[in-house]
Copies of this chain bind each other. A is one copy, B any other.
């Protein structure tokens, strides 16, 4: 055998076969997270190990790891010795998450603006531009979720607060965004036909670039509050059975 050649072969193979080359737990985490956010795994559903191992074709250990991470993200609930459940939803939690997001992102936006740089302003301009050029729905007739729009939407809001100078604060905002994103996707009327979200995004950006922090914060919080309002109207996504005991977990 030829030693030199053999090693080269192996190397090239290694580089080709594991494309993202990440651990299995991370792969399951990503897939599970997507299924949670999309609502394919409905709220308060029990997440049985056996079911999940068969669904994702993996072992228990990577699954437990993924479920633990998702618990920290607030998308999964872990009851001691009783297994995992998809995090429940409620009107009160939606209201609380929205309130918190408004508070915290207002803060982060103000700090971002206070530390503004030309580079950041250009990033924001770009993010807004790209988002505006991307169709909200894949289908012109009926609404069909466009993953690329969702990604760019995420990037846009991330950019708004991204200049605040605190990784932990940005991460916290990301968590809140994820949890609220699930409510959005769960809500049937995702299209928001009456709203012009693109205009809202543009208006926020304009206020930011003009240096008017108060106005920018007002527009941003109004943006979030309106989204929550629309979802709160949705009669279907909140199980009407226990309407009274709507308290957050």
Binding site for B on A (CB under 8 A): 22-23, 26, 61, 64-65, 68-69, 71-72, 74, 80-81, 96-97, 99-100, 103-104, 107, 111, 165-169, 172, 175-176, 248
Cβ contact of A100, chosen from B68, B69, B168, cutoff 8 A = B168
Report the bound CA distance from A72 to B174 in whole Å. 14
Cβ contact of A80, chosen from B23, B61, B71, B80, cutoff 8 A = B23
Report the bound CA distance from A103 to B103 in whole Å. 11
User: Nearest CB to that of A74 among chain B residues?
Assistant: B168
- Contacts A103-B107, A104-B107, A107-B107 aside, 15 further interface pairs with beta carbons under 8 A come to A22-B80, A23-B80, A64-B65, A65-B68, A69-B71, A96-B168, A99-B165, A100-B169, A103-B166, A103-B169, A104-B104, A104-B169, A168-B175, A168-B176, A172-B172
Chain B positions within 8 Å of A248 at CB level: 167
- Residue among A26, A69, A80, A169 with max Cβ neighbours from chain B (10 Å): A169
Chain B positions within 8 Å of A169 at CB level: 100, 103-104
Main secondary structure of the interface of A (DSSP, over half): helix
Report the bound CA distance from A205 to B152 in whole Å. 45
Contact check, A99 vs B166: say whether CB atoms are below 8 A apart.
Answer: yes
How many copies of this kind of chain does the complex include?
A: 2
Cβ contact of A64, chosen from B64, B72, B81, B172, cutoff 8 A = B64
Report the bound CA distance from A96 to B164 in whole Å. 11
Chain B positions within 8 Å of A175 at CB level: 168
Cβ contact of A168, chosen from B68, B97, B165, cutoff 8 A = B97
Chain B positions within 8 Å of A74 at CB level: 168
How near does chain B come to A208, taking the closest CB pair, in angstroms? Answer: 19
Report the bound CA distance from A22 to B167 in whole Å. 33
Chain B positions within 8 Å of A111 at CB level: 103
How near does chain B come to A18, taking the closest CB pair, in angstroms? Answer: 11
Chain B positions within 8 Å of A26 at CB level: 80
Report the bound CA distance from A74 to B104 in whole Å. 20
